Amino acid sequence: MSERADQIRSNAAEEESRIAELNSTLGQQRTPYLKGQLQQAMSKVTDVETLLRFAQQSEPRHAGAWMSIAEENIKMAANIREQVQKVVDAYGGPDNVEEFEGS
């Protein structure tokens, strides 16, 4: 379990870094929705440590399930980040993205 947990922690840290990097390129005034999406992604990544703690404290037969949930959280966070990146790329970079409120 420890080797798997270490890999999950490493993957979570890498994803957290990617999310933070993308988030830092977006302005709160111009892209509040996209930043909100990245905040949700970051929340999924930060939950990983709690899930791993649950895995450590649970009965051995349940530990794998907790770790699988942690892995899935990382995948969901990466998916959100990738979708936000696609929007940014479609408009030629973060300086060209601006959200408008509809009427």
Output the pLDDT for position 55. Answer: 97
Task: State the pLDDT at residue 2.
Answer: 85
Kindly list the domain boundaries of the chain, sorted by start residue: 2-94
Asked if 13 and 67 count as a contact pair (C-beta separation under 8 A), the reply is no
How far is Cα 25 from Cα 70, in angstroms, rounded to an integer? 27
pLDDT for position 1: 56
Q: Confidence band (pLDDT; 50, 70, 90) for 103?
A: very low
**Distance between CA atoms of residues 15 and 44, nearest Å:** 10
Instruction: At 53, list the tokens.
Output: 């703690």
What global pTM score does this model have? 0.91
Residue among 5, 11, 16 nearest 58 (CA): 5
Average pLDDT over residues 19-37: 94
pLDDT digits (tens, 9 = 90+) for 49-98: 999 999 999 999 999 999 999 999 999 999 999 999 999 999 888 888 88
pLDDT confidence of residue 76: 98
Dump pLDDT digits (tens) for 9-20: 999 999 999 999
Q: Give the per-residue pLDDT at 14.
A: 98
pLDDT of residue 102 exceeding 60, the answer is no
